[in-house]
Amino acid sequence: MRVGYLSPNLGEHPTGHLLAPILEAMDRERFELFLWSTADRSRDPGPYPARLRAAADHWRDLHGLDDDAVAAPIARDRPHVLVDLGGYLAGGRPGVLARRPAPIQLHWIMHLAGMPAAFVDATLVDATMVPVDHPSGLHGPLVRLPDAFQQGYRQPVAAAPPSRAACDLPADGPVLCAFNNPLKIDARVLDAWCAILRAVPDASLWLGPTPDGRPLEPLRAAAACRGVAPDRLRFAERLADRAIHLARQRHALLYLDTFAFGGATSAMDALLAGVPVLTCRGGQAYGRIGASFATVLGLQQLIASDPAQYVRRAVELLADRAALASLRDRLAHAVAMGPLFDAVRFARALEAVFLRAWESFARDTAREPASAHRPA
């Protein structure tokens, strides 16, 4: 079976990080793998560009081409299944999908509740992100993966973190972290975080920088308006060495998730570093990313039903260090042994989806003339 992935992010990008171990784990006796890159990743630092190329049977650099010029070589590759990793977001190529270069076209990762379009046969989701009883009319066809909608990708973690002083953290007191994209921090989230800080007077909140590396000074003023001393918010510097970035998170006792749009890459980083992610189950898929991860980890106590419970649970965990230590031990075991970070298990699940999709397609077209798009 010929399977290909269409994406502008096949390099040093969270999509590339996620995809590389899956490709490496796929059954190469049964699947021939294509990567169709629609962005120039030639300046990306290693190791992911080289790792992705090595993991695929065929690499096609299609950047700078219009939709027809991208679709044509994909069709010549005669894939059974095309997996789109761009959608309608920046760099996505829905116009290529509209030209139907493959008989089966699936979407994955970017639109977490579905990519409804006549040229998308199904979106890969999970049962926490989009529950089976959720109205599906606006989502388009869905295929629910058996665990989370994505797997965690293992990366090197430095053996020892830099000191608290080197991280500009107070010498004493519990540290909470929230390295999520700062665009996801809204008033409800900041209200909850400040409520936790007021209830735990010696705690600090450690936040990530903006994408251009600036500290989020306006948040300190907003915290002051909520009764929290501005210097209790600390800002991490952007580090080039990802292994050190992961290791430094071990100074945090708890990761505080955002609400409307939860952490994905940043939450996985925290989990890999051994930091529990406290999340609040949202009303739509982007607010249930953390709940999806916690469910697969078997740590449902990290899922709050509303902001009030989220605040209470954080305060309770910080007050009971023995319970928090036990939780961290369970997390470490689940990360090491459980399904969330198991690329081989996830690859088998994807393979099963591809095979079922092709079997269904073959049944539906068995009595019809051969389609111009159907691979030989």
Q: CATH number, domain at 206?
A: 3.40.50.2000
Tell me what the mean pLDDT of segment 252-267 comes to. 96
Q: How many domains does the chain have?
A: 2
**Same domain, yes or no, for 197 and 131?**
no
> For residue 344, what pLDDT band results from cuts at 50, 70 and 90?
very high
Asked, as a colleague might, if the bond just before 146 is cis with ω within 30 of 0, I would say no
pLDDT at 215: 61
The helix/strand/coil state of 150 is coil
Query: What CATH number should be reported for the domain holding residue 107?
Result: 3.40.50.11380
- Kindly report, residue by residue over 171-218, the tens digit of the pLDDT: 999 999 999 988 899 999 999 999 999 999 999 999 987 667 666 788
274 phi-psi bin (left φ>0, alpha ψ -120 to 50, beta other): left
Percent share of the chain, pLDDT over 70:
95
Is 59 or 137 the better-scoring residue by pLDDT?
59
**Per-residue pLDDT for 266 more than 80?**
yes
194 plus 108 within the same structural domain: no
Q: Give the per-residue pLDDT at 372.
A: 46
Is the pLDDT reported for residue 141 higher than 80?
A: yes
pLDDT for 240:
85
For residue 366, the model assigns a pLDDT of: 75
Which domain, by its residues, includes 240? Answer: 175-337
Could you give phi then psi for residue 75, rounded to 5 degrees? -60, -35
pLDDT score, position 376 = 41
* DSSP strands (E only) in the chain: 2-7, 32-37, 58-61, 81-84, 104-108, 122-126, 142-145, 175-178, 204-207, 233-235, 254-256, 277-280, 303-304
According to DSSP, residue 84 is labeled E
Is the pLDDT at 137 greater than 80? The verdict is no
Mean pLDDT of 249-271: 96
- Output the pLDDT for position 369: 59
Q: How far apart are CA 242 and CA 68, in angstroms?
A: 38
- The answer to whether residue 360 is domain-embedded is yes
Residues 183 and 308 in one domain: yes
| Amino acid 211: pLDDT | 67
d(CA 168, CA 159): 20
pLDDT band at 134 (very low <50, low <70, confident <90, very high): confident
Examine the domain organization and report whether 270 and 324 are in the same domain.
yes
